[in-house]
Amino acid sequence: MAVAAGGPPLDRLAELAESMPAGEWRARSDAAQAVACYLACHPRVAAVRYPGLTSDSDYQRASSTLRCGFGPWVDVCLAGGEKPGWLRLDVTDADAPAWVCRLEALLAER
């Protein structure tokens, strides 16, 4: 999914948190945090927006408004390529290692 570079919107994340069972929110948030940290260090990634990263411009506000995690959405801009642009990853399960393996395979193709 293509997105703007503004990062996941905090108001929509708060709404999503309210609509999701607390355990699922926490598990998906934890997995997304791991995915965001992995992507932030990857040489084929130009930028990452995730409110759980201390380097993110929304971190302070997110840490005071979101509870039990920062949500499942990670915005990423891949480096290089013909059409660099932002993509939103929706971490749909709590299996962070599987996400990292899938992303590593995707990034190896670029």
**What residues contact residue 78 under an 8 Å CB cut-off, 6+ apart?**
44, 45, 46, 84, 85, 87, 107, 110
Higher pLDDT, 78 or 4: 78
Does CATH number 3.90.1150.10 belong to domain 2-109? yes
Residue 14 has pLDDT above 80, yes or no: yes
pLDDT digits (tens, 9 = 90+) for 29-48: 999 999 999 999 999 999 99
pLDDT digits (tens, 9 = 90+) for 60-72: 999 999 999 999 9
Q: What is the pLDDT of residue 8?
A: 86
